[in-house]
Amino acid sequence: MNGYKFFLFGCLFTSLTWSLSLYMYWKLNTKPDNYSNVKLFRKENTYEYVKKQKSKYFKNHVDKNDLSDLGIIKTDDDLVIRDKGYKDHGFNALVSLRLGNYRETLPDTRHKLCSTIKYDQNLPAASIIICFYNEHPQALFRTIQSVIRRTPRKLLHEVILINDFSDSENLHKIVDQYIHDELLQGIVHLKKTDKREGLIRARLFGANLATGQVLIFLDSHVEVNIDWIQPLLTRVRDNRTQIIAPIIDIIQPDTFDYKSSPLVRGGFNWGLNFKWDSLPKGTLVTDKDFVKPIKTPTIAGGLFAVDRDYFNEIGQYDSGMNIWGGENLELSFRVWMCGGSLYIEPCSRVGHVFRQHRPYSAPDHEDTMARNSLRLANVWMDNYKVSYLCLHGCNLSNFYGGQTLFYADILYT
């Protein structure tokens, strides 16, 4: 009789164990909805939310200051990855790959007073617009991750990724898969243009999809640093006609070392090339001077924040500009003439990989920098456009290859 009882208990116990195991297995395999569940974590930091949701998230990152062994070539494959990477991306793709999707430790390059500033919690939220073309996946993922983890959730309205018709269809799939794997569907929106548009029109495509009060444009190979967004949003909130750029710190393209940039401002020459100018003497005397916004004639263009309505009111970018170049000066001139101003915020730091070369050219090898600059000169420079033109000998036949007649019309009408 006792043996029978034990047998029954045994069966019961086994069934219970199995049910429990099945339940736990089912639980483990059920993913939380996705990021669209925003109401639940509005008050939390995005980073905290993700940490709770998914511990896997934290495996693929590097947390160290010494990057010197990341470039070591161990196999033939390493060599190919590095050399092809330089050609395709203009930086050491082997180091980028090994650095992974996120790096935890970036040096805090701000002046020491920056960390004592208490920013208002009540700031407008931003749509972050990141356009990419043939970007190295890990460089793009670090851009996204750094934004997700170093931006208070409340201030991050959305991230809009625009794939500007990259050559490889695979890249789009990889990025899409990444967004799903990391449960970012509710906050990161990936879109693709129907044809190669270039930086300017790809950004406009993103800006027209955005619904946040502030637009922040970022390059696709950056890492935002601690409290990067608060100073930008504070200034845009306080004066909606100000365009605010962070300090662009330097991520070295061979080693990915992160270095602080000095406080400088943007200028330009008569060739309509952007250049950095030192600040007027006497600007930086006391400690406090190092945290004051720097009034700047122009911005470098890769990274800046602007009130979305103001951006629309001044007519956005010149959508007739192709691929790359000149749009940053055009926007700067446009802002001056439409009553706005431009500033650089020393307490906002974003690291940018300064690539060894721009790894793409325009279709038909058009000199888009010259073309775009001609448009800018024609629209905003009145008689001063001759100063630009005369750098090329005041002779249109020296200018812009075979299309001089078309541009002669532009310049002299």
| 287-346 binders of Mn ion (CB under 5 A) | none
Q: Which is nearer to Mn ion, 89 or 153 (CB)?
A: 89
Q: Which is nearer to Mn ion, 219 or 223 (CB)?
A: 219
Kindly state the smallest distance separating residue 358's Cβ from Mn ion, in Å.
8
Q: Is 128 exposed, middle or buried (0-12, 13-18, 19+ CB in 10 A)?
A: buried
The DSSP H or E segment spanning 218 is strand 214-218
Q: Which is nearer to Mn ion, 267 or 359 (CB)?
A: 359
The DSSP H or E segment spanning 374 is helix 368-380
Kindly state the smallest distance separating residue 407's Cβ from Mn ion, in Å.
27
Q: Which is nearer to Mn ion, 132 or 400 (CB)?
A: 132
SS3 91: coil
- Distance separating alpha carbons of residues 130 and 303, to the nearest angstrom: 10
Token pair listed for 370: 């010259």
Q: Which is nearer to Mn ion, 197 or 219 (CB)?
A: 219
Kindly state the smallest distance separating residue 204's Cβ from Mn ion, in Å.
18
Nearest to 133 by CA among 192, 80, 207: 192
Other beta carbons less than 10 A from residue 300's beta carbon: 18
Kindly state the smallest distance separating residue 206's Cβ from Mn ion, in Å.
16
Asked if 266 contacts 299 with a C-beta cutoff of 8 angstroms, the reply is yes
Kindly state the smallest distance separating residue 48's Cβ from Mn ion, in Å.
30
Spatial neighbors of 60 by CB under 8 A, at least 6 apart, are 100, 101, 102
Asked if 126 contacts 305 with a C-beta cutoff of 8 angstroms, the reply is yes
SS3 103: strand
Q: Which is nearer to Mn ion, 219 or 318 (CB)?
A: 219
* Total number of residues that touch Mn ion (CB under 5 A): 1
Q: For residue 327, which amino acid is it?
A: E
Residue matched to tokens 């010494």:
66
| 158-177 binders of Mn ion (CB under 5 A) | none
| 183-242 binders of Mn ion (CB under 5 A) | 219
Q: Which is nearer to Mn ion, 231 or 301 (CB)?
A: 301
Q: DSSP labels for 225-253?
A: -TT-HHHHHHHHHH-TTEEEEEEEEEE-T
- Distance separating alpha carbons of residues 295 and 243, to the nearest angstrom: 10
Kindly state the smallest distance separating residue 283's Cβ from Mn ion, in Å.
27
Kindly state the smallest distance separating residue 325's Cβ from Mn ion, in Å.
12
Q: Phi first, then psi: give them for residue 301, nearest 5 degrees.
A: 105, -30
- Distance separating alpha carbons of residues 159 and 215, to the nearest angstrom: 10
Spatial neighbors of 104 by CB under 8 A, at least 6 apart, are 61, 62, 63
Q: Which is nearer to Mn ion, 91 or 399 (CB)?
A: 91
Q: Which residue is nearest to Mn ion (CB)?
A: 219
Q: Which is nearer to Mn ion, 284 or 303 (CB)?
A: 303
Kindly state the smallest distance separating residue 354's Cβ from Mn ion, in Å.
7
Compute CA distances 33 → 23, 37, 40, 44, 58, whole Å: 18, 7, 12, 17, 19
Q: Which is nearer to Mn ion, 182 or 219 (CB)?
A: 219
Kindly state the smallest distance separating residue 353's Cβ from Mn ion, in Å.
7
Kindly state the smallest distance separating residue 352's Cβ from Mn ion, in Å.
6
Contacts with Mn ion by CB under 5 A lie at: 219
